[in-house]
Amino acid sequence: MIVRKNAPAIKAPVDVDIQLQPYVSFHLKNGVPVYLVEGGAQEVLQVECVFDAGNWFEEKNLVAATANFLMKNGTTQKSAFEINAAVDFYGAYLNRSCYNETATLTLHCLNKDVEHLLPLMEELLTSANFPEEELTIYKQNQLQRLEVNLKKCDFVANRLIDAYLYGEDHPYGKYSTPEDYASITRNDLVEFYQKFYVNGHCKIFVSGKIPAGIHALLDKHFGHLSILPQSIARPVHKATPAEQLHYEIVQDPNGVQGAIRMARPFHNRHHPDFIGSQILNNLFGGFFGSRLMSNIREDKGYTYGIYSYLQNHLGESAWIISTEAGRDVCKATIQEVHHEMKRLREELVDDEELDLVKNYMMGVLLGDVDGPFQVCARWKNYILHGVDDTYFQKTIETIRTIDGKEIQRLANEYLHPEAFYELTVI
């Protein structure tokens, strides 16, 4: 019996036993894999179809993103208005997203309505027709948005730093131009859609309060489609990093703020140093209590926020530092970043600071396993990256056991200013 007069014992997140709920998997009649994570008290459901249809697979810039967006803007049976009205009738949400390697079509709905909405998803995946008028409107909107964004130093900096890291022709380094939008034709979209959606590779992730008969429903609407169970062979794209490491671009002579990006090539999550480097990154600049934030925001007052992160790419990856600072203190900001790199290389991190970072990371993991949607998102990330079910526990074990010496070793391996591209856009 619980004694309410006694306060519960306080337990540090690092000492909490965290388990990742396993998924249940099966295959549809056509071999397409389905991964289910059941849970939650609410009668809600998420169905996500993930295709090998990111910009990695396009032969013409922006075709992948455009095809993904316009897939919902008209089929041979329904107009864009009718599609949205059908989704709104059930209070559901049907969205699509395009990334570097993958593209998704995602449904959020009440689980009792899924049988009425899966036919619409099937329709989008089999008979999207990309009306010319919708393509024209999309181009106009994107060109207007691009014109506005190109006046923002942070937008320009984000585009250029990826181009320096990978090359402008690499899928990770390509960026949009008015000429690219102008050159897209309806035939480009139809060809990409037929190859990478209608006849492409798909994985399906389902999470939430799973209704009875979901297997039969998915088989009815997706099991007969010509989508493939096996991954499509990825084209080879060789990164061509820029030779120059330091850049300063002035696009507004009267600008008072500069966008700073510092980045170096890095391993993906299959490398043995990746998990440990995530811990080092959090200590360095990965959360609000990091060293970069404490020094450059709290002490120096150069910026409202500065962060570092490891990119989550399937192939090549990068370690990136990102901030915006006053034009007059941009160089001083970069110097302070170098200073914090040097401290991590030369000084052993004390246990108190390291424990703070460990508890923060374990707290994030606790949040990531709180609910079926979050659990499914983590499994999706692992499955798409090709890591097995031991990766989660390996992450926890590394967080718990890493010490100051290992942090210092990683800092000496990776945190050298001369390995980083430095870009300032004003």
| Domains present along the chain, CATH in parentheses | 20-222 (3.30.830.10), 246-425 (3.30.830.10)
Report pLDDT for 175. 94
- CA gap 301, 308 in Å, rounded: 18
Average pLDDT, the chain: 95
Residues of the chain with pLDDT > 70: what percent?
100
pLDDT at residue 231 tops 90: no
Report pLDDT for 364. 92
- CA gap 271, 207 in Å, rounded: 30
Report pLDDT for 13. 74
Residue 402 banded pLDDT, cuts 50, 70, 90: very high
- Residues 178-183 have a mean pLDDT of 96
Return all residues near 148 (Cβ < 8 A) that are at least 6 apart.
none
Cα–Cα separations (whole angstroms), residue 195 to 33, 102, 226, 229, 425: 19, 14, 10, 14, 39
pLDDT at residue 283 tops 70: yes
Pairing relation of β-strands 33-38 and 103-110? unpaired
Tokens 């990309």 sit at which residue? 130
Report pLDDT for 228. 84
pTM, to two decimals: 0.92
pLDDT tens-digit map of 149-174: 999 999 999 999 999 999 999 999 99
Residue 1 banded pLDDT, cuts 50, 70, 90: low
pLDDT at residue 9 tops 90: no
pLDDT tens-digit map of 325-359: 999 999 999 999 999 999 999 999 999 999 999 99
Return all residues near 97 (Cβ < 8 A) that are at least 6 apart.
68, 103, 104, 106
- CA gap 108, 198 in Å, rounded: 22
Paired tokens of 64: 């992948």
- Residues 49-54 have a mean pLDDT of 96
pLDDT at residue 137 tops 90: yes
